[in-house]
Amino acid sequence: MLEFLRYGFMQRALLSSVIVGTTCSFIGVFVVLRGMAFAGSGLAHAAFGGVALGFLLAVNPLIAAVLFCLGTAGLIQVASRRAQLRMDAAIGVFFAFAMALGVLFIGLMRRYDARVYGYLFGNVLGVTQGNLILMAALGLVVIGAIGLLYRQLKFLTFDEEMAEASGLPTAALAGLLLGLLALTVVVSLKTVGIILVEALLVTPAATAYQLTHRYGMMFVLSWITSVASCVAGLVISYAVGIPSGAAIVIVATVVFALAALFSPKRRKCKVCGHESGA
């Protein structure tokens, strides 16, 4: 059963799935509760520009993607705060710009390199030792920052206006969240790819949201769902011979559907008797 773990590439694939599943599950709680799904999608597309730049300049495409995503996140934050533009409009402007740069960089390459397109759908079996180290480092930064500012981010997410009135630096915290989201996108690029990363940013946390009324428990359930979906998807893709990114997302979506179907939130609240009407 576990014979596939004898292969080095499968061990790296499994480890990368756990890293990606963990990182996405934690930031995903904020993506779901703060309505940042479009930001996740936008930053994922912005990563394409960074990957293309990396191949054009012959530097590590993940490093280039980190810089590109963080730059795009910064531009979105500045545009939405300083130009008083709605966040979704700012995202729309800059993710299309970053994608256009990606297309431009590909056009500037002297010869066609199919590896660029590998980042669109991910290739978990192609994760290298170097990729793993970078993913683990970025994942630790994301999880460490969330742990460091757990309560402050909770207040920001629940009631941003009150958090600001209470003296929390809400603009800085919101910008930090966007930056952490950008790093998470890069962590996930090799495993699920630009197109499918959105699913891991949203689906496990959305599943947890169906199952609990407790904020802390939402992180736990999101993590369990996410890592389980990543590992199960990887194993299924190996057993059946289908693309791993797609398998991971399909498993996560099935779990979400089951959670939504049997969500205790659809029943009368056991504590106070409140009926959601959902």
Give the interface with other proteins as residue ranges (CB under 8 A).
33, 147-149, 151-152, 154-155, 158-159, 161-168, 209, 212-215, 217-218, 265, 269, 271-272, 274, 276, 278
Q: Which is nearer to other proteins, 58 or 278 (CB)?
A: 278
Cα torsion through 169, 173, 176, 180, rounded to 10: 160
Q: Which is nearer to other proteins, 94 or 209 (CB)?
A: 209
- Least distance in Å: CB of 39 to other proteins? 19
d(CA 137, CA 187): 9
CB 157 within 8 A of CB 215: no
Q: Which is nearer to other proteins, 121 or 155 (CB)?
A: 155
Helices (H) then strands (E): counts for the chain: 11, 0
- Least distance in Å: CB of 273 to other proteins? 9
Q: Which is nearer to other proteins, 130 or 144 (CB)?
A: 144
- Least distance in Å: CB of 26 to other proteins? 15
Q: Which is nearer to other proteins, 174 or 247 (CB)?
A: 174
Contacts 24+ apart (CB under 8 A), 253-260: 253/199, 253/203, 255/203, 255/204, 255/207, 255/225, 255/228, 255/229, 256/203, 256/204, 256/206, 256/207, 256/210, 256/225, 259/207, 259/208, 259/210, 259/211, 259/225, 260/207, 260/210
Cα torsion through 193, 197, 203, 206, rounded to 10: 170
142 contact partners, CB below 8 Å, separation of at least 6: 23, 26, 27, 180, 183, 184, 187
Q: Strands (DSSP E) along the chain, which ranges?
A: none
- Least distance in Å: CB of 148 to other proteins? 4
- Least distance in Å: CB of 89 to other proteins? 18
Cα 61 to Cα 101, 196, 238: the distances in Å are 14, 18, 26
Q: Which is nearer to other proteins, 77 or 170 (CB)?
A: 170
Return the closest-CA partner of residue 206 out of 88, 64, 35: 35
- Least distance in Å: CB of 255 to other proteins? 18
- Least distance in Å: CB of 268 to other proteins? 11
Q: Which is nearer to other proteins, 171 or 250 (CB)?
A: 171
